[in-house]
Structure 1
C-alpha cells in the first residue's frame, strides 16, 4: 500500500469519525434542550391549569348562586301571576 493511499484512507476515517462525533454531540444537545424546554413548559402549563381550576370553581359557585336566585324569582313570578284569589268575587 502506498503512502498516498494510506493517507487518503486515514483522512477518510478521520472525517467520518469527526462527523459522527459532531452529529452525536449535536443530537445529545438537542435532547437536553428539549428536556429543559419540556420541564419549563410543564411547569407553566401546571400553573395555568391551577389558575383555570380556581377560576372555574369560583364561576361554578357564582352560577349556582344565580341559578338559585332565578329559581326563587320564577317562584315569585308564578305566585304573582298565578290564579285569581278566591277571597273575593271578581266583577263581571
Structure 2
C-alpha cells in the first residue's frame, strides 16, 4: 500500500469517528431534552389530576346531598303495607 492510500483510509476512518461522535452527542442532547420535557409534563399532569380529582369528589358530595334532599321531599312513595295476623 502506498502512503496516499493509507492517508485516505485514515482520513475516512477519522471522518467516520467524528461523524459518529457528533451523532452520539446529538442523540444524547435530544434524550436529555425529552427527559426534561417528560418531567415537566408529568408534573403538570399530576397537578391537573389532583385538581380534577378534587372537583369530582366535590361533585359527588353535592350529588349525594341532592339525593338526600330529594328523598326527604318525596318521602315514602308507597304507603306501608298492612299486614294482618
**Root mean square deviation, CA, Å:** 1.8
| Residue number in structure 2 paired with 1:24 | 24
| Residue number in structure 2 paired with 1:85 | none
Structure number, greater radius of gyration:
1
Which TM-score applies when normalising by structure 1? 0.78
Unaligned runs of 5+ in 2: 80-85
Unaligned runs of 5+ in 1: 83-92
Alignment of structure 1 residues 1-92 onto 2, 5 Å = 1-75=1-75, 78=77
State the 4+ residue runs in structure 1 displaced beyond 3 angstroms: none
TM superposition shift of 1:73: 2.1
Total equivalences in the alignment: 80
